[in-house]
Amino acid sequence: MIDHNFYLVITKMNQEYFMRLALEAAKKGDWPYGAVIVKDDEVAAVAYNTVQRDSDPSAHAEINVIRILTAKISKPTLEGYSIYTTCEPCPMCATACVWTGVSEIICGVSIQDLISLNQAQIHISCEEIIAKSFRNIKVTKGVLKDECLALFK
Ligand SMILES: [Zn+2]
């Protein structure tokens, strides 16, 4: 039997590993946001914000990573996948997560954290979007929060 604390330590190590990949991706973005989608502890897709270079206001890291993966697997749904994102998904991205049916959202900083740094944000948490939807998506916040916040300084 696996010790429960051991399981928690391994989970935290995995979460930090994938968040570091999202952080690296964020550094390539037009704005410092990165996202990684993972299934069975393997990276399925990586993306970052391309709003400026694509002249596309919807080209957030989460939308981009979802589009890359759903095109790759030729399916619009992502049940069983986890999305790692350096910042909590905005209402548009949280809604996209609902439509694709990702199983879990793991984020670094919260929308509230970014508002505290005077970043332009819509003040609705991803939990609020999920709560009003037909999905039950697990949300974990604060993974490598300081590193994710440092992208904005
Ligand atoms: Zn977004």
Kindly list the catalytic residues. 62
Output the CA 42–ligand 1 centroid distance in Å: 23
Output the CA 89–ligand 1 centroid distance in Å: 5
Among the listed residues 89, 101, 97, 105, the one whose alpha carbon sits nearest the alpha carbon of residue 49? 89
Phi/psi region, residue 46 (left: phi>0; alpha: psi -120 to 50; beta: rest), is: beta
What residues have their beta carbon closer than 5 A to ion ligand 1? 60, 90, 92-93
pLDDT band at 2 (very low <50, low <70, confident <90, very high): low
How much is the pLDDT for 9?
86
Output the CA 74–ligand 1 centroid distance in Å: 22
Mean pLDDT of 14-24: 97
Which tens digit of pLDDT belongs to each residue from 55-83? 999 999 999 999 999 999 999 999 999 99
pLDDT band at 4 (very low <50, low <70, confident <90, very high): confident
Output the CA 63–ligand 1 centroid distance in Å: 7
Output the CA 125–ligand 1 centroid distance in Å: 11
Which tens digit of pLDDT belongs to each residue from 20-56? 999 999 999 999 999 999 999 999 999 999 999 999 9
Of 97 and 119, which is predicted with more confidence? 97
Mean pLDDT of 8-22: 92
Rounded CA separation 118/138 (Å) = 27
Rounded CA separation 11/2 (Å) = 13
What's the pTM value of the predicted model, to 2 decimals?
A: 0.94
For the chain, what is the mean pLDDT?
A: 95
pLDDT for 1 beyond 90 = no
